[in-house]
Amino acid sequence: MRFRYAFPALCIALALSAGPLAAQTWSLKDTGVGLVIMDGEYAEKLKIAERGDAWDLEPLYATGAFSGRSDGTKAFAAWIQGPPVAGFLDKNGLPLWDYRYKVSFPGGKTYESGQAGFYAPGHAVATLSIGGDREGTWKVEWFLVSRATKESRLVATNVFTTTWGKPVVAVDGWTLKDMGVGLVVMDGEYAEKLKIAERGNAFDLKKLYDEGAFSGRSDGTKAFAAWIQGPPVAAFLDKNGCRSGTTGTRSASPAERRTRAARLVSTPPVTRSPPCSSAATPTAPGKSIGTS
């Protein structure tokens, strides 16, 4: 099996190193594309039902994901999460920054939003509509805007693909669901469930070191790590119950090898898997973690 998936499908770029915006602190905590729960609390709390980089728009349309309702419907949207607005107020108690975004649809059409303010917890949501070809590559670009100077800087980009009434599986049953860097809860269930305590792109390593985030323990400690989440392993097995592309032993999938190659400092020993057989069918949740 050959993986042609390119990791930059979700690109995060923090561009606050120069100019007026650099005088204050703003950091990207999260960004993505998927299904956002639009209920009565959407302004107080960002609730992500599902995230990913490949979507079939037909069932989303049929279930009302493009309807714009706020009754608990899961809306198809892009989002960005920064620090709480209270953390970047001026001397008059007004926010220093707003945001705007640009959507590039398949086929070349674009949409640019106006300038708007973040919700109090620091997030913004851009509900998406079908504004061009239904199949192809989309791009959502997020800009941070100085309210004082109107200067804007690109701070995040989401790239994803869509189909209409067709499977979105990219290669041999594998699609990216999530990836990121941050604090992962390493407890007794870490192999069964990926628990993200915090994600982001800017961290104080001394604080993390003092808190034991580099200790490699599995007692519930929050470990500083990178992760990748795909479909459950059971979804991409061959007729012998092995991961696609392997023979004889359950070796790491290309996605797992890629993740392990990107780990930042060190990783705990990897337990070798037993030989593959038709009777041995793994039920792992399809994730891999590279600890730091």
The tens digit of pLDDT for each residue in 226-269 reads: 888 777 777 677 777 776 544 444 444 444 444 443 444 444 44
Kindly list the domain boundaries of the chain, sorted by start residue: 8-163, 178-291
Average pLDDT, the chain: 76
Determine if the pTM surpasses 0.95: no
Average pLDDT over residues 71-99: 92
- Would you state the pLDDT for residue 183? 86
- CB distance 160 to 53 below 8 Å: yes
- Would you state the pLDDT for residue 209? 86
- CB distance 46 to 218 below 8 Å: no
**In 10 A of CB 274, how many CB atoms?**
10
- In angstroms, the CA 146 to CA 133 distance is 33
